[in-house]
């Protein structure tokens, strides 16, 4: 078993997650059994309770973990499903340590960062492995942050252990100073010093840069950072993120990494054909559609990372370039709805939480329903479609979700009980907020002769969920009478999973998050079908 650690320096948001995923792709494309995991330095136990503005999207795994959005990149690039045990935060590490202390596991000892916290990190790194050839660990944050120190110390100790083979890749940023007309390597030198302070010498330095990196800069980095020239790898911007693996390979990253791990790259040939085919498809797109995404966190694209990618995947399959028009729901109202949405070929209302922006999203749904524009509602988007139809078509004027208002006409209400495996989960209004939603993969049954059935072509599906509220089944019949059917239900028939219109070209709301399972090499059928209908 070999470990690869990936740290970041100089600045955040360098795309370290995509880089790590691309490295995993390269190794997988050489037939290695690869696993990729994330260590996050923040003190939240998981990102589940953080605003997307803090942290980007919360990515949900099949086994119900709320994790960092980088796990989404890992899945999309490696085509492998991540697990709960593929990510951890300082908060979780500390909470494990404190629980052990209370249980008396360390009786007699003073609990300290070294060795107790660092041992907990090392235990995580070595835990739950499954005979992988290479396991990649991406360390969140930037070297030099106080919170990341224990992680660096744990990595130092692991690398110091003679029985482990590992490589450390440090990703930095090389800024261009236009006044000097030069790329500057000093920030990189300083961030490598930070690593050295922690007792870690990187093996490979990856340099993010907006401009090609000249030979002189490479030599300088090599000299000052004590890394061989062939291990200083430019990481330049790509046309599409799916081009990143081939770009890195062009600079020899995979070969050099394998050499650091004492493999002979010649014995493991690289096959990037599926990715090359994908890039060809992207280059030869014939059509364009504009999709209006009406959401609350539209200022930060990372808030809807998987959605953004899933729409692109759906487009690739249809030879179509998808342009997303991000529309701030709080700025949309009955007066400007037409202006804002008139050139959209499709409208999507994504998941979300809380009251803000609800009015705008409901207006957008009404507009797409009345104007026969393809509509896709995801989780909150589906719940709001239910509210819109209840108010405007069933004439239940005070119809609402109990998430926003307590009313006797809650067409969407708090989920108090559901079946998970062979257990019944129970919640009430006072339950903790962290990790208590209906999370992860659940089965849904699809009704025959419905649009959703024709899309999935099967009657049982597994999709990932993340919600606390559910559609109230009391109103199902009244919806049916108006041509709206719940064409997917939980296996016990209690939780509506899919809403569709019988009379509209494409009006579908789903309680789950299909975007989490879409991958560039296997796009999600719902997104493929949605984009196809938007093309018409």
What residues make contact with ligand GLN under the rule CB under 6 A? 351-353, 379-380, 403, 466-469
User: Which residues fall within 8 angstroms of residue 249, CB to CB, at 6 or more apart?
Assistant: 26, 270, 272
User: Toward ligand GLN, which CB reaches closer, 220 or 467?
Assistant: 467
CB of 351 to ligand GLN, least distance (A): 3
Candidates 207, 225, 344, 379; catalytic one: 379
Tell me, yes or no, if 515 is annotated catalytic: yes
Check if the beta carbon of residue 475 is closer than 8 Å to that of residue 481: no
Burial call 192-210: b when 16+ CB within 10 Å, e when fewer: bebbeebebebbbbbbbbe
Angle at 34 between CA 143 and CA 205, to 5 degrees: 35
CB 11 within 8 A of CB 64: no
- Taking the least distance from each CB to ligand GLN, the nearer of 231 and 383 is 383
Return d(Cα 22, Cα 253) in angstroms, integer.
Answer: 10
CB 467 within 8 A of CB 379: yes
Q: How far is the CB of 380 from ligand GLN (least distance, A)?
A: 3
Q: Could you give the C-alpha distances from 528 to 246, 304, 402, 519, in angstroms and in order?
A: 26, 18, 33, 11
Q: Which of residues 268 and 353 has its CB atom nearest to ligand GLN in the complex?
A: 353
| Least spacing, CB of residue 511 vs ligand GLN, in Å | 8
Say if residues 446 and 487 touch (Cβ distance below 8 Å): yes
Pairing outcome for strands 87-89 and 34-40: parallel
Smallest distance, ligand GLN to C-beta of residue 379, A: 3
Q: Mark whether 379 is an active-site residue.
A: yes
Closer residue to ligand GLN in complex, CB, 369/467: 467
Nearest CA among 90, 67, 80 for reference residue 34: 80
Distance in Å, CB of 215 to ligand GLN, minimum: 49
Least CB distance to ligand GLN at residue 381 (A): 7
**CB closer to ligand GLN out of 234 and 381:** 381
In the structure encoding, which two tokens stand for residue 49, read together? 């309770």
Burial-class residue 281 by CB neighbours within 10 Å (0-12, 13-18, 19+). Answer: middle
Residue 260 annotated among the catalytic residues of the structure = no
Catalytic residue of the set 138, 363, 470, 515: 515
CB-count burial class (<10 Å; 0-12, 13-18, 19+) for 262: exposed
Among residues 55, 73, 465, 513, the one annotated as catalytic is: 513
- Smallest distance, ligand GLN to C-beta of residue 383, A: 6
Residue with smaller CB distance to ligand GLN, 195 or 384: 384
The two tokens of residue 33 are 């059994």
Nearer to ligand GLN, 78 or 401 (CB): 401
CA distance 113 to 144: 17
What phi-psi label fits residue 375: left (phi over 0), alpha (psi between -120 and 50 degrees) or beta? beta
Residue nearest to ligand GLN (CB): 351
Q: What angle do CA 26, 76, 69 make, to 5 degrees?
A: 115
Active site residues: 379, 513, 515
């Amino acid at each position: 078993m070999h470990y690869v650690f990936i740290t970041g320096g100089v600045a955040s948001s360098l795309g370290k997650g995509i880089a790590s995923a691309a490295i995993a792709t390269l190794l997988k494309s050489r037939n290695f059994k690869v696993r990729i995991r994330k260590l996050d330095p923040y003190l939240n136990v998981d990102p589940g309770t953080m605003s997307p503005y803090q942290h980007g999207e919360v990515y949900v795994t099949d086994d119900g973990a709320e994790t960092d959005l980088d796990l989404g990149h890992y899945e999309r690039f490696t085509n492998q499903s991540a697990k709960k045990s593929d990510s951890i935060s300082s908060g979780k590490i500390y909470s494990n340590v404190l629980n052990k202390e209370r249980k008396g596991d360390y009786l007699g000892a003073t609990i300290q960062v070294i060795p107790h916290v660092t041992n907990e990190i090392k235990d995580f790194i070595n835990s739950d492995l499954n005979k992988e050839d290479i396991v990649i660990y991406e360390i969140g944050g930037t070297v030099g942050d106080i919170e990341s120190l224990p992680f660096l110390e744990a990595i130092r100790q692991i690398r110091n252990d003679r029985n482990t083979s590992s490589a450390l890749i440090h990703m930095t940023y090389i800024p261009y100073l236009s006044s000097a007309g030069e790329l500057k390597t000093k920030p990189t030198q300083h961030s490598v010093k930070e690593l050295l302070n922690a007792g870690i010498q990187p093996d490979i330095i990856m340099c993010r840069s907006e401009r090609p990196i000249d030979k002189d800069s490479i030599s300088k980095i090599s000299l000052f950072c004590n890394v061989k020239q062939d291990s200083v790898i430019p990481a330049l911007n790509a046309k599409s993120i799916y081009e990143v693996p081939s770009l890195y390979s062009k600079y020899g990253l995979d070969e050099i990494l394998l050499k650091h791990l004492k493999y002979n790259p010649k014995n493991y040939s690289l096959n990037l054909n599926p990715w090359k085919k994908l890039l060809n498809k992207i280059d030869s797109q014939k059509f364009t559609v504009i999709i209006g995404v009406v959401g609350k966190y539209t200022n930060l694209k990372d808030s809807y990372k998987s959605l953004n990618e899933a729409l692109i995947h759906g487009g690739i399959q249809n030879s179509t370039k998808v342009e997303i028009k991000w529309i701030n729901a709080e700025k949309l109202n009955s007066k400007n709805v037409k202006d804002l949405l008139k050139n959209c070929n499709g409208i999507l209302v994504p998941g979300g939480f809380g009251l803000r922006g609800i009015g705008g999203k409901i207006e957008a749904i009404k507009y797409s329903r009345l104007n026969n524009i393809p509509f896709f509602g995801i989780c909150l988007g589906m719940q709001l479609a239910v509210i819109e139809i209840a108010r405007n078509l069933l004439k239940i004027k005070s119809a609402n979700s109990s998430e926003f208002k307590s009313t006797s006409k809650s067409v969407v209400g708090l989920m108090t009980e559901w079946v998970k495996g062979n257990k019944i989960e129970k919640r009430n209004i006072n339950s903790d907020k962290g990790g208590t939603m209906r999370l992860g993969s659940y089965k849904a049954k699809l009704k025959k002769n419905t649009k959703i059935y024709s899309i999935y072509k099967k009657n049982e599906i597994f999709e990932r969920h993340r919600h606390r509220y559910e559609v109230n089944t009391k109103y199902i019949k009244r919806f049916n009478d108006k041509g709206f059917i719940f064409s997917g239900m939980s296996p016990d028939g209690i939780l509506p999973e899919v809403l569709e219109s019988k009379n509209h070209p494409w009006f579908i709301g789903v309680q789950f998050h299909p975007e989490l399972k879409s991958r560039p090499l296997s796009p999600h059928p719902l997104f493929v079908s949605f984009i196809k209908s938007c093309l018409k």
